[in-house]
Structure 1
Amino acid sequence: MKILTQLTDMNNFTPNEKSIASYILTHKELMLHLNIQELAKATYTSHSAINRLTHKLGLSGFKEFSIKLAREFQQDAQNISNIDPNYPFALGESSLQVAKDIAELMKETIEKNFAFMDEASLTEAAHLLDQAKRIFIYALGDSQIRAKSFQNKLIKINKYVVITTE
């Protein structure tokens, strides 16, 4: 899971850790230039409090935190799209251009969702699906098309799947 998402969720954070997380989220652009001493001073906390927070995020320490945060910023900067998902094509565009823009939008969506995945959660989800006797999928509208596709795949491996909106 992304560091910024974990910081925003603040799951099981102490008041000190919430204070540090809030500072990081409101001063993102400064974070790459701060060392642990400067962050501790800015948040009125200690080095150990910052290290406890980084460990809670699944990292070995502040150095790994800084590196991962820089990577997230770089990924976010590279993933800025010129295609508006609400209006992916304009009047007068060729059919080929419309197809290209929609394909690009789909690729970006998949890549952004993939960035949020972590192996432990994916493994746990697969294990839960494997152990389930019945699987219920809730979907409406366009997501129902994806649900039907997922249902079809699970049926092929002998899983009982119900789309509950049907």
Structure 2
Amino acid sequence: MNLESVVASRHEKWNDTERAIMSYVLANQDRVVESSVQAVAHSTFTSPSSVMRLTKKLGFSGFSELKYFLRHSRSAPTSEVADLVAAQRRDVEGTLAQLERADLGPVLHRMQRARTVYCYGTDFSSRTAAQELSKALLINGTSTVMVPGVKELKASLPAMDPEDLLVLISGGDGMPAQAELAELFLLRSLQTLAITRLGDRERSYNPEWMLHYCASPLGRVGGSESYYSWIGLNVVLDYLVRRYVMHLRERRGLARR
């Protein structure tokens, strides 16, 4: 089991401080193994007591046990790390656990009330996912625009207003690096939903809502590059669409009364 699986298996609600620490630890596991509690607190602009509380909330007796777990989970031979089919199950179950703890009410309400929902994916796979989300929303009577790339996203920004919703779907490369995009998002007061891999944190974009999916590293046969499963992302989008259809049915039922 790796740390991503541990986080996904905890049926907890994480506050902003815990998410900041957890995101740092997930993204910097090799560094954390060599760090102190004080160093992690300094890197995350939090306190040592906050780091310790999160460590115990994850089920470890202390920071030393967390470091021991990280060292051995990351250094174990690939054949011992995971059965890939079992990892698939963990990704699905972990993603559903994240979703069931999320308050989707405000997101669904904004999606229904939006003048237009703009869908943007950061790479080929997430763009395909964004296209499927856009199609599902259109079928259910919601106006959507599929944004195919960063240039188009920049070009679309002047047409967006606070009545719209921008859905950013983060793939393996994360969100676009252009600092001016984050500034424009803030200046235009865009309502934003970010869908990211558990452990990614796009602080500069400051989205109103975030949904996370679990993605196990699969690797490559005969290669060393990391390749992540997309099943968790598919689960997020399918879950979101199903909840949106239920929301629309409920609202239409209330309107007929």
Larger radius of gyration between Structure 1 and Structure 2: 1
TM-score (norm 1): 0.44
| Higher percent of residues as helix | 1
Higher relative contact order (CA 8 A, sep 6+): 2
| Higher percent of residues as strand | 2
TM-score (norm 2): 0.30
